[in-house]
Amino acid sequence: MKKLFYFLVALPVVAFSQVKKENYDYFVQFNTPQLNKKVDLDQLFTHKAFKEFNKENANIKLNDFISFIDKERAISIHGNFTDSIPYYQVTIPLAQVEKFEQFLQNRTQKKGDSIQKHATYAMVTSRSGFTMAWDSKNLVVFELLNIPNYNTNPYSYQYDDYNDDYYEEEEEVVEVEIEEYDEDTPTIREGEILPPPPTEEEIGNLAEVEPYDEDWESEEVVVEDDEYDDDFYQDYRKEGEQTQEEKIAKQEALVAQMFEKSFVAPTSAKVNAKADISSWIDYQSVYSQVSSLYSLFSTFTPKANVPSDYAIKGMGADLYFENGKARMEQTVEYTEALAKIMSKIVRRKPNKKAFNHFPKNEPLAYLSYHINTAEALKNYPKIAEQMLSSLPVEKQDVDIMMDLITTLIDEEATATLFDGDFTLFFHDMEQYEYSYTSIEYDEDYQETEVEKTITKNKPVFSMIITSSHPTMSEKLINLGVRKHALTPENGHYTFTDKELGEVAILRDGAVLVFTNGLEYLGDNAPSAFAKKVKKNVSSNYCFGNFDINRFVKRYLMNEDFGKDTATILKISDQVKNFQVSASKKIKHNKMKLEAELNFTSQDQNIIIQTLDLIDYLK
């Protein structure tokens, strides 16, 4: 039995050792040398944002542990949750191994864990399930994960598992003849002798029966628990302990295999070595695990990951801490076929007339988004191929469904309803008087209508879309006028509902403007603000800005935040704006989106300022 057990342990170890390099579903790298130049790591991890990890009663205080790290080498986190052996691994370079061992020895003795000493490395497995191992240069935290493999779905029910004979057993049917029953006439069966009627004395005795005592308590009957329940629990517990033992044996064998021939720190060409923090995720692997479609089809067996010509291969995020700003670059890598399609979708030129209706002055926030709707609709079946390929449906059936959709939908005609230009502006926060009719009751409980006026805050906004359909927008506006939902006024239409103030619709050819701040918009000509952002809006399919500093101060003029006012003011004084841009250019099948968080002060360390912001938002 022991030989069989060790064989089962060794089998996945052999398989794991044969895994090719970079077979990771995700990889995160902390550029420790670069980060340490920008901020002292000891100071960084004693920041109050990490106070939960530095409590006195913590098992391992973060600020104590940091002193053992070699700050000249990178820290990495990687793992795999779609392979036959799902796991995660944290690799930390060590500088003071002897002090670290002494530190860990004191901790493990308190918890009853024992350190296993080997020739070139040491190992300890915590009671929570993970294994730590280290040699003279590196520390590894490793744990196997219990993730269901949806390619062999344990929740799918096989019809053959049931015994059909069980359901085919025929029960004997007994026919019972039911006679008619008359409630007024007692039924006397043949040969039955009825008892004599009660005497007057017996009837009198019935009246002397004591009435029911409501305070009477019935005798409690105690039923002892069945021993079966206790046996079942013991078997269940033993099974769980055995499973845990097997898991720990496997993971310790895997960790030993890492260190026996000199440990080599993991690397990945997918991450950016120049970034302060860089990460990469295999999109298909993540999608196959977290997709909500698997819960929808949980009683079926989803198909294994099917390679697709039109797929997202991976997603990366690089974080940089620069002078006065924290910047993130997100990268989405497509297959070559999908990259060509996405390039057509995002390369849309904004309608020039739209710039004539941009605000006169820079708004508090704005977002401009432009895609080619016709190309998106035409290529929808290919874009959705990756999602549909994992469903428990044959490809031929999916093709029929896609053909039906593309037949029913005229892509070019449908695209004219919404060409793909969408721009939103948030101008200001304003107070206004809102009048409404309320129903009240007088002293005689008679209904009376009372006109009331209250002061409300409204966001002043504008939204611009384009619709090149020759008649639809005009017909919809005319319908609104006929139904008294819209009122025509000097070149525009206003809604009769005044909940958000005077909301107007302005139509300029294919351009439609919805706004409750007409006075904020340009006079049918490009404004100074429009000229300023036109280049960025035209070269990016997505471009936006949120002036946090101005927004908070404008909001505080109209709202009372009570005890949170001081915190909100700290944020507004520290943070300037948040900006996002996504280029139309796709290079090497990769699309990039860049986001920047700009701070008002460049004198303070940008990493510390970012942690301050995180702490404020808690």
Q: How far, in Å, CA of 577 to CA of 598, rounded? A: 5
Least confident range from 141-145, 237-241, 384-388, 585-589: namely 384-388
Q: Are strands 365-370 and 312-322 parallel, antiparallel or unpaired?
A: unpaired
Average pLDDT over residues 490-501: 83
Of 537, 552, 501, 510, the residue nearest 359 (C-alpha): 537
DSSP 3-state of 572: helix
> Which has more pLDDT, 57 or 343?
343
User: In the chain, what are the domain boundaries?
Assistant: 26-148+243-274, 420-538
What is the pLDDT, as a whole number, of residue 226?
57
Give the distance, in angstroms, between the CA of residue 434 and the centroid of all CA atoms in the same chain: 38
- Going along 420-446, which residue ranges are E strands? 421-441
Spatial neighbors of 300 by CB under 8 A, at least 6 apart, are 153, 156, 392
What is the pLDDT, as a whole number, of residue 288?
61
| Side chain identity, residue 246 | E
What is the pLDDT, as a whole number, of residue 553?
84
How do the residues of the chain divide into helix, strand and coil, expressed in percent and rounded to 5?
35, 25, 35
DSSP-assigned letters across all residues of 252-307: HHHHHHHHHT-------TTS-TTSSEEEEEEHHHHHHHH-THHHHTTTS-PPPPPP
By CB atoms closer than 10 A (0-12, 13-18, 19+), residue 526 is middle
The percent of residues above 90 in pLDDT, for the chain, comes to: 39
What is the pLDDT, as a whole number, of residue 542?
97
What is the pLDDT, as a whole number, of residue 173?
46
Q: How far, in Å, CA of 115 to CA of 123, rounded? A: 6
Q: Which residue has the tokens 């915190």?
A: 567
What is the pLDDT, as a whole number, of residue 395?
64
- pLDDT tens per residue across span 500-543: 678 999 999 999 999 999 999 988 889 999 999 999 999 999 99
- pLDDT tens per residue across span 115-133: 899 999 999 988 888 999 9
Q: Is the pLDDT of residue 38 over 80?
A: yes
- Give me the residues paired with residue 202 across strands: none
> Which has more pLDDT, 65 or 449?
449
Of 430, 374, 381, the residue nearest 402 (C-alpha): 381
Least confident range from 179-188, 235-244, 315-324, 442-451: namely 179-188
**Mean of pLDDT over the chain:** 78
Instruction: Assign 225 a pLDDT band (cuts: 50, 70, 90).
Output: low
| Dihedral of the alpha carbons of 192, 196, 202, 206, in degrees to the nearest 10 | 40
Query: Count of CB atoms within 10 A of residue 334's CB?
Result: 21
Instruction: Assign 266 a pLDDT band (cuts: 50, 70, 90).
Output: very high
Name the DSSP letter for residue 351: P
What is the pLDDT, as a whole number, of residue 512?
95
Tokens of 342: 């996405």
Instruction: Assign 54 a pLDDT band (cuts: 50, 70, 90).
Output: low
Average pLDDT over residues 248-253: 92
pTM, rounded to two decimals: 0.74
What is the pLDDT, as a whole number, of residue 200?
59
- Give me the residues paired with residue 456 across strands: 432
Q: Is the pLDDT of residue 278 over 90?
A: yes
Q: How far, in Å, CA of 111 to CA of 123, rounded? A: 15
Instruction: Assign 152 a pLDDT band (cuts: 50, 70, 90).
Output: very low
The H or E element containing residue 72 is none
> Which has more pLDDT, 14 or 586?
586
> Which has more pLDDT, 70 or 21?
70
**Alpha-carbon distance values, 351 to 154, 244, 357, 368, 544 (Å):** 53, 63, 11, 12, 17
| Dihedral of the alpha carbons of 237, 239, 243, 245, in degrees to the nearest 10 | 70
Q: How far, in Å, CA of 324 to CA of 434, rounded? A: 43
- pLDDT tens per residue across span 138-150: 999 999 987 554 4
238: region left, alpha or beta (phi > 0 left; psi from -120 to 50 alpha)? alpha
Q: Is the pLDDT of residue 212 over 90?
A: no
Based on its alpha-carbon atoms, the radius of gyration of the chain, rounded to whole angstroms, reads: 36
